[in-house]
Chain A
Amino acid sequence: MANIKKIGIVAATAAAVVAAFTFAQAKAKMEASAPAVGTAAPSYFLPDQDGQMHTLASDKGKAVLLAFYPADGTSGCTLEAHSLSSAYKDLKALGVTVYGVSVQDPKSHKSFCTKEGIPYTLLADTEKKMSAAYGVLIPGVGIANRVTYLIGADGKVAYIDTNVNGHLLTCGEDWAAWVKAHPAASASARVSLASFSPSASGPAVIGKSAPSFTLPDTTTGKPVSLGSLGTSKKATVLLFVSTRCPVSNAYNSRMAALAKKYTALGVAFAGIDANTTESTREIADFVKQQAFLFPILKDSDDKVADAYAAHVTPETYVIDKQGVLIYHGRIDNDMDPANVKTHELSTALDAVLAGKPVARPEAKAFGCSIKRGG
């Protein structure tokens, strides 16, 4: 009896040692093998949901998007699949071959594709070699982490998104926006900035996913999406501003100071100008003149202002790293710095950085109406 018990303990200890060893080994291997941007992408040779084989060599000369995900049919993976499915047409038009990669077998992939109407190819990494080669295999668990690689037409890693969970609902369109902004990454991407069309979803509700959008930066002309702003950031602040509104202008130095302070703490900032009366050039000059550390995006058709139901300048929004809108409203209670008593925007940012709920998620003040187009 005593002997049996003793053997049991020894066996359990041995199992624990093996598990610990595997974990350390896997972790070390994962860190060592994760390819960096600019390095050659690891090759692969895997079947898809129909049993057809795919290799990096056969995809040579094309940009390849590899969306590693943990498992078919789970909720996060389904959300990601929906976003990637809706962006699939855009990615294809940009010359990007799209693969979802997980450790389930072709049969599981087939039923996931059918059930969710997934138009892109799912690779079955049942031996976990590809997941390991890309450094995404979760140690001890043996499934792929949610990481996306974009491989350029030259076969080198062009972009790695390790924060897919931070923008699950918009990841597909955010990746398409990234490819559009980096045409060199895909040889067959015949995309000029002129063909880029601004977009936004909606509406904005406190506690819900903030509407995604893609708008041009007035300084560089390049598209900026909500996802690209917030990737690997602790929060994102959107500031609806105007170059001419006296209230917005009364806040210029306060906005610059807030951006300086909170950018250093890991918060992303972007201004949005939705006034049809203010041109891109005027806004770009304004950014330069104010020495803002953040870009101001041009919302020409008021799509984003409409999606966010923004009405005044300045009007601000704070989005947490999960993409949820957590604050909407004023910067502080008064345009005249002498009368300022409460600082709602910085209070909200302090709360989100401390991992606490925002006590006052909405605060209004008088401002200039946004001059919308016809």
Chain B
Amino acid sequence: MPAYAHAAVIVPATAATIKQAIAARRGHVVLVNFWATWCGPCIAEFPDIVRVSRQLKPQGLETLAVTADSRKDIATKVLPFIVKSGASFPVYLEQSADPQDFITAFDLSWQGDLPRTFIYDRRGKLVRTLSGQQTAQSLTAAVRPYLKP
């Protein structure tokens, strides 16, 4: 089975869906990356998300990605991009009734700018918020303090 098979399904999600997915990974550090194919810095950052996810999985890192793309772009843009990236983590599609409810569910001060990455510790507590394009180095530095030694 090819590595991307897990990710080749994109699950429509509300904020509650994502919160449940985070809660279900209790005991792991969880990295949630919000992105979209129309967002240049997100596309540039995504390979680093994939790399860090793969490197730190043995140390207990779980990764989730949530796209703010339009539903109509899923088959033509989002799926091909995910497949090409080699991501093996779940990818969700933001499908809330109102984007504001979704955005504020994660961070009240968030204005909806992408990319955004949230890091939750092993007890499910939000510990880091990363705004703008990250690198493998900055992602690793942000996650490492919360991983098992």
- Determine whether A369 belongs to the interface, using a CB cutoff of 8 Å to chain B: yes
Partner of B114, one of A315, A363, A364, A366: A366
- Determine whether A312 belongs to the interface, using a CB cutoff of 8 Å to chain B: yes
- Determine whether A140 belongs to the interface, using a CB cutoff of 8 Å to chain B: no
- Determine whether B94 belongs to the interface, using a CB cutoff of 8 Å to chain A: yes
- Determine whether B27 belongs to the interface, using a CB cutoff of 8 Å to chain A: no
- Determine whether A335 belongs to the interface, using a CB cutoff of 8 Å to chain B: yes
Closest approach, in angstroms, between the C-beta of B99 and any C-beta of chain A?
Answer: 4
Q: Point out the residues of chain A lying under 8 angstroms from B132, CB to CB.
A: 369
Stretch touching chain A among B5-13, B36-44, B53-61, B119-127: B36-44
From known contacts A336-B72, A366-B94, A369-B131, infer whether A315 and B38 are also in contact, taking CB-CB under 8 Å: no
Q: Which residue of A lies closest to B111 (CB)?
A: A311
Partner of B113, one of A312, A330, A335, A362: A312
Closest approach, in angstroms, between the C-beta of B112 and any C-beta of chain A?
Answer: 5
Partner of B103, one of A246, A334, A339, A364: A364
Q: Are B36 and A366 in contact (CB under 8 A)?
A: yes
Q: Are B38 and A246 in contact (CB under 8 A)?
A: yes
Q: Point out the residues of chain B lying under 8 angstroms from A364, CB to CB.
A: 99-100, 103-104, 110-112
For window 334-368 of A, CB contacts with B under 8 Å fall at: 334-336, 338-339, 342, 362-368
Closest approach, in angstroms, between the C-beta of B138 and any C-beta of chain A?
Answer: 15
CA distance A361 to B110 in the complex (A): 16
CA distance A309 to B99 in the complex (A): 19
For window 283-328 of A, CB contacts with B under 8 Å fall at: 309-312, 315
Closest approach, in angstroms, between the C-beta of B135 and any C-beta of chain A?
Answer: 16
CA distance A364 to B105 in the complex (A): 12
Q: Are B100 and A363 in contact (CB under 8 A)?
A: yes
Q: Are A366 and B70 in contact (CB under 8 A)?
A: no
Q: Point out the residues of chain B lying under 8 angstroms from A311, CB to CB.
A: 111-113
- Determine whether B136 belongs to the interface, using a CB cutoff of 8 Å to chain A: no
CA distance A247 to B115 in the complex (A): 14
Partner of A247, one of B38, B103, B110, B131: B38
Q: Which residue of B lies closest to A312 (CB)?
A: B113
- Determine whether A185 belongs to the interface, using a CB cutoff of 8 Å to chain B: no
Q: Are A365 and B112 in contact (CB under 8 A)?
A: yes
Closest approach, in angstroms, between the C-beta of B81 and any C-beta of chain A?
Answer: 14
Q: Which residue of B lies closest to A338 (CB)?
A: B72
CA distance A342 to B99 in the complex (A): 11
CA distance A44 to B94 in the complex (A): 68
CA distance A339 to B113 in the complex (A): 20
Interface string of B54-90 (1 = CB under 8 A from A): 0000000000000010101000000000000000000
Interface string of A238-262 (1 = CB under 8 A from B): 0000000011000000000000000
Q: Point out the residues of chain B lying under 8 angstroms from A329, CB to CB.
A: 100
From known contacts A333-B99, A336-B72, A363-B100, infer whether A368 and B111 are also in contact, taking CB-CB under 8 Å: no
For window 256-280 of A, CB contacts with B under 8 Å fall at: none
Closest approach, in angstroms, between the C-beta of A367 and any C-beta of chain B?
Answer: 5
Partner of B111, one of A315, A333, A336, A342: A315
Q: Are A370 and B113 in contact (CB under 8 A)?
A: yes
Q: Which residue of B lies closest to A336 (CB)?
A: B70
Q: Which residue of A lies closest to B103 (CB)?
A: A364
Q: Are B100 and A339 in contact (CB under 8 A)?
A: no
Q: Point out the residues of chain A lying under 8 angstroms from B99, CB to CB.
A: 330, 333-334, 364-366
Q: Are B38 and A369 in contact (CB under 8 A)?
A: no
Q: Point out the residues of chain B lying under 8 angstroms from A339, CB to CB.
A: 70
CA distance A370 to B39 in the complex (A): 11
Q: Are B114 and A367 in contact (CB under 8 A)?
A: yes
Q: Which residue of B lies closest to A315 (CB)?
A: B111
Interface string of B23-57 (1 = CB under 8 A from A): 00000000000101011110000000000000000
Q: Are A333 and B98 in contact (CB under 8 A)?
A: yes
Q: Are A366 and B41 in contact (CB under 8 A)?
A: no
Q: Point out the residues of chain A lying under 8 angstroms from B110, CB to CB.
A: 364
Q: Which residue of A lies closest to B108 (CB)?
A: A364
Q: Point out the residues of chain A lying under 8 angstroms from B40, CB to CB.
A: 368
CA distance A247 to B113 in the complex (A): 11
Q: Point out the residues of chain B lying under 8 angstroms from A370, CB to CB.
A: 113
Complex A-B, nearest 10 residue pairs according to Cβ-Cβ distance, in ascending order: A311-B111, A369-B113, A366-B68, A246-B38, A364-B100, A311-B113, A365-B99, A312-B113, A366-B112, A364-B112
30 pairs from A and B in contact (CB 8 Å cutoff): A246-B38, A246-B39, A309-B111, A310-B111, A311-B111, A311-B112, A311-B113, A329-B100, A330-B100, A334-B99, A336-B72, A338-B72, A342-B98, A363-B98, A364-B104, A364-B112, A365-B100, A365-B103, A366-B34, A366-B112, A366-B113, A367-B111, A367-B112, A367-B114, A368-B39, A368-B40, A368-B114, A369-B41, A369-B113, A369-B114
